[in-house]
Every structure is written in structure tokens, then in C-alpha cells.
Amino acid sequence: MDELDAVEILRRYWLDGAGTITSKEMVLASCPFCGKGDRIRLLPRQSQTGSPFPQDNYQIAWEMLAATERLPAICGFCLNVVTVGGGQAEMPGVK
Ligand SMILES: [Zn+2]
């Protein structure tokens, strides 16, 4: 699994579970893809119980994208996975 795989897993998880994910912490940061400033939501570290998605893969993907001051998130508008740190959202893979 590389970062692109991880991005895809997180995005699919969101699409599969968007209606049931309860942890939808908003982050005020501009999306690097579409520029919307109020649509970034942090992705939960662990997939929610009842998600059809394999728990292990989700957590591995989440940890791959996360770093000390970087958390995986998703733009609810354009549905691109981003990483959030220091109040800014960045494209994954940009270090
Ligand atoms: Zn966006």
C-alpha cells in the first residue's frame, strides 16, 4: 500500500459510510483541490462499527497518511482526501 492506495481506501470508506459516520469534526481550512473553506472534515482514526469496510485496511491507510501534526481529512464538496495540519489542508503526499 502506498499513499495513493491509502487515499483511495479512505475516500471509499467515506463514500460507503457518509450517511452513518458520526464523527464529522469540521476543520476551517481551504481545500487544496476545490478551494472551498468550510467542507473539510477529519476522518476518524478507526472505522465505525458496522461499516462494510475492512477495519484493518482502514486503520493502516489512516496511519499511513497521518503524521505528528498531520491528520487525514476529506473535503465533503469535491470528495478529495487531504491532510490537515497547522490550520491548513494539503494534498496527500506533499511533505
Ligand atoms: Zn474540495
Give residue-wise pLDDT tens across range 45-57: 877 666 565 667 8
Residue 12 above 80 pLDDT?
yes
CATH code at 25? Answer: 2.20.25
Nearest residue to 95 (alpha-carbon basis) of 62, 57, 68: 68
Tell me which of 2 and 24 has the higher pLDDT.
2
Q: How far is the CA of 26 from the centre of ligand 1 (A)?
A: 13
Question: Which pTM does this prediction carry?
Answer: 0.83
Residue 4 above 80 pLDDT?
yes
State the residue range of the domain holding 27: 3-90
Domain assignment present for residue 80? The answer is yes
Domain assignment present for residue 95? The answer is no
Number of domains in the chain: 1
CA gap 71, 51 in Å, rounded: 21
Q: How far is the CA of 27 from the centre of ligand 1 (A)?
A: 12
Average pLDDT score over the chain: 85
- Letter for the amino acid at 54? P
